[in-house]
Amino acid sequence: MYDEVSSSYNAMMDTSCGSGYMLAMYHEQFDQTRSLIGVDLSPEMAAITGQ
């Protein structure tokens, strides 16, 4: 993860992002040029993001 964050100048990181739904909505509606990184420690939430 360090490599991803350090190489993404001007990226936004959302910790405890859950399924990532709100992060995706933000990206679509407000800031489509910024790289987004979502992190959640819950295996259930991480599994949802793969769907």
**What percent of the chain is predicted at pLDDT more than 70?**
78
Query: Given a cut of 80, is residue 3 above it in pLDDT?
Result: no
Is 20 among the domain residues?
A: yes
pLDDT tens for residues 8-22? 567 888 888 888 889
Range of the domain at 42: 14-49
Domain count along the chain: 1
Amino acid at 33: T
Whether 6 is covered by a domain: the verdict is no
**Residue of 36, 39, 38, 31 whose CA lies nearest to 12:** 36
Query: Per the confidence metrics, is the pTM higher than 0.75?
Result: no
Asked if the structure places residue 5 within a domain, the reply is: no
Q: In the structure, what pLDDT confidence band is assigned to residue 46 with cuts at 50, 70 and 90?
A: confident
Burial of 28 (0-12, 13-18, 19+ CB in 10 A): exposed
Is 8 within a domain? no
Is 7 domain-assigned?
A: no
Query: CB–CB of 34/45 below 8 Å?
Result: no
Residue 43 domain-assigned (yes or no): yes
Does some domain include residue 3?
A: no
